[in-house]
Amino acid sequence: MVYGLRYYFRHIGKEDRAISLPSIKEEFHLPVVLNRSDLKELFVASKLLKHRVVLTLVYSAGLRSREVINLKISDIDFERRTIHIRQSKYKKDRMVPLSIYMAHGLKKYLEEEKPKDWLFYGNDKNRSYSRTGIAWIMRQALKKTKINKKVSIHSLRHSYATHLLEDGVNIVTVKDLLGHGDISTTMIYLHVANCSFHNVKSPLDTLYPRQCNDLLLCELD
């Protein structure tokens, strides 16, 4: 309603009325991240090689759905181990590293499926895969796992960014790899990554003088 009134007041030339309307505070939610065990389970859940390659590629390069479906075979450089993302969000091109393991999977996929131009095609080999199709692959794979987190295909991108930070990659590099226009967007992953928690112990672990696997069976001093 507020957004509608703002547009209306600007349309009729009453900018002051538009400005005086209250601001709308958006709820802040941290992205849900899959851990490494979740990912291993997810990547083997799909029976089709094509589906496994799609999911693995999204995570391995931190790609958006639209970036995946717009990939062409020529965008994959196996010798230089790079993926060329063309005209993505903000109308920018960028290069991202091609994982060694991903390269093996892609070569096997190309040999078996023999796509023509698009890396991932739909029902017609002359047309690219759809974003709804990519989302469907993720949903079907999740059904075959024990993962109970509320995640989507975009969660693989969140997981990629978080794991890079946990592996020690600096945030500026992560920003460039994700293709973010502003580093403040990337900084949200600092709230999720546990890279700053590695040397921090819970006070419960230091409360007792000796280790105990079962607190209820501990002899409390």
Q: Look up 154 and say whether it is catalytic.
A: yes
**Is residue 166 classed as helix, strand or coil in its secondary structure?**
helix
Residue 82 pairs in a beta bridge with 77, 97
Q: Using alpha carbons only, give the angle 4, 10, 11 rounded to the nearest 5 degrees.
A: 85
For residue 109, which of 52, 55, 159 has the smallest C-alpha distance?
52
**Is residue 14 classed as helix, strand or coil in its secondary structure?**
coil
Of 51, 52, 157, 158, which one is the catalytic site residue?
157
- Identify whether the C-beta of residue 33 lies closer than 8 Å to the C-beta of residue 192: yes
Q: Look up 131 and say whether it is catalytic.
A: no
For residue 89, which of 64, 68, 72 has the smallest C-alpha distance?
64
Q: Look up 139 and say whether it is catalytic.
A: no
Of 59, 109, 160, 189, which one is the catalytic site residue?
189
Of 72, 84, 94, 180, which one is the catalytic site residue?
180
For residue 71, which of 63, 60, 80, 59 has the smallest C-alpha distance?
63
Torsion of CA 66, 68, 69, 73, to 10 degrees: 140
Q: Look up 129 and say whether it is catalytic.
A: no
Of 36, 80, 89, 127, which one is the catalytic site residue?
89
Of 51, 64, 158, 163, which one is the catalytic site residue?
64
DSSP state of 72: B
Distance, CA of 105 to CA of 98 (rounded, Å) = 11
Phi-psi region of 14 (alpha: psi -120 to 50; beta: other; left: phi over 0): beta
Q: Look up 157 and say whether it is catalytic.
A: yes
* Active site residues per annotation: 64, 89, 154, 157, 180, 189
